[in-house]
Structure 1
């Protein structure tokens, strides 16, 4: 099998098994997400090599920030005033877990956000004992604790849904959240405030 074929197979397998965000079914403050990243055995660069569209030109640009998330384009457009400051590739909700459409505002920023429902059971040294668990269904083995999945640079805009770093397979694959490449999630995070308008359109 060629290197290209192996890479295609690995990425296809990851897209099938990787977990993502879910839409909220609990209280407003309860974020319900699955792991947003691939296993550490996969080179980090391989997870984002399809992103040829993301860029940022907003440094030094004046104007109030706003974001438009386009589901059909799988892109987020960041504006300062009426000027386009940057574009990010995305992975939004899949057919069964569509990202909510409408006009919203950023209600929370959490740079080191973690899931409170999905993640791993780890031992006292932090080693993973059971991976990809759902605390509402899975029981922690004796001597382990729950470690929530990482969703860094989290920007909540409706219920439990927000933008954050995550795996981009090249199509809508999340359970409602808006995944972004790490570098773009950090840029967007650093340029929004609570109250920044977010529009999600088909």
Structure 2
């Protein structure tokens, strides 16, 4: 029987018992976020940031909103009255909605907004670790998104660099 391909390590977290607020440094070239508490590195995680045409912003930001179960009001899918997906890659206000159908925003668990124009950190797919994949948000593995959500207070610093 062939050996199963090993999954890459997606994150490391050693910050649960460390004092101080959490801050996040995101390196777009590596598609990784580095986590700090009290100035000490307490972990890292792969991220999936904005793909071509949907660049993630760079600079220093602060978490301005936190919502456990958020849905996108821009990206998602169109479903019919039975809940069957008609269009799995819809954009609100752009994609046509057939009669009897409606738009359902993509799930963005553990949403942490960092801009006034809809960019944030949240749980989401990282299909190819080390490669961009999003519409501009910073996607995180589910467990790490929950961890950051729990440890990063409102106002926590998020720095995104090339």
Query: Secondary structure of 1:193's partner?
Result: coil
Query: Secondary structure of 1:140's partner?
Result: coil
User: 2:141 matched to which residue of 1?
Assistant: 181
User: 1:190 matched to which residue of 2?
Assistant: 150
Alpha-carbon distance in structure 1 between the residues aligned to 2:143 and 2:77: 25
Alpha-carbon distance in structure 2 between the residues aligned to 1:93 and 1:186: 21
Give 1 or 2: higher strand fraction: 2
Alpha-carbon distance in structure 1 between the residues aligned to 2:43 and 2:59: 21
Give 1 or 2: higher helix fraction: 1
Following superposition, the deviation at residue 53 of structure 1 comes to: 4.5
Q: How many equivalent pairs are there?
A: 157
User: 1:107 matched to which residue of 2?
Assistant: 64
- 8 Å contact kept, 2:21–2:153: no
TM-score (ref. length: structure 1): 0.70
Alpha-carbon distance in structure 2 between the residues aligned to 1:139 and 1:73: 36
User: 1:162 matched to which residue of 2?
Assistant: 120
Tell me the alpha carbon deviations over residues 22-45 of structure 1, each in whole angstroms, 9 at most, x when there is no partner.
Answer: xxxxxxxxxxxxxxxxxxxxxxxx
User: 1:71 matched to which residue of 2?
Assistant: 28
Following superposition, the deviation at residue 125 of structure 1 comes to: 4.1
TM-score (ref. length: structure 2): 0.85
User: 1:126 matched to which residue of 2?
Assistant: 83
Task: Choose from 128, 147, 153 the match for 2:104.
Answer: 147
How large is the RMSD of aligned CA atoms in angstroms? 2.3
Tell me the alpha carbon deviations over residues 19-78 of structure 1, each in whole angstroms, 9 at most, x when there is no partner.
Answer: xxxxxxxxxxxxxxxxxxxxxxxxxxx9xx34x151111112111221111112211111
Moved over 3 A (4+): none
Distance 1:100-1:56 versus aligned 2 partners, 3 A rule: same
Task: Choose from 20, 23, 38 the match for 1:81.
Answer: 38
Tell me the alpha carbon deviations over residues 128-168 of structure 1, each in whole angstroms, 9 at most, x when there is no partner.
Answer: 23322222222322222221111111111123111111221
Following superposition, the deviation at residue 95 of structure 1 comes to: 4.0
Matched, 1:60 2:17: yes
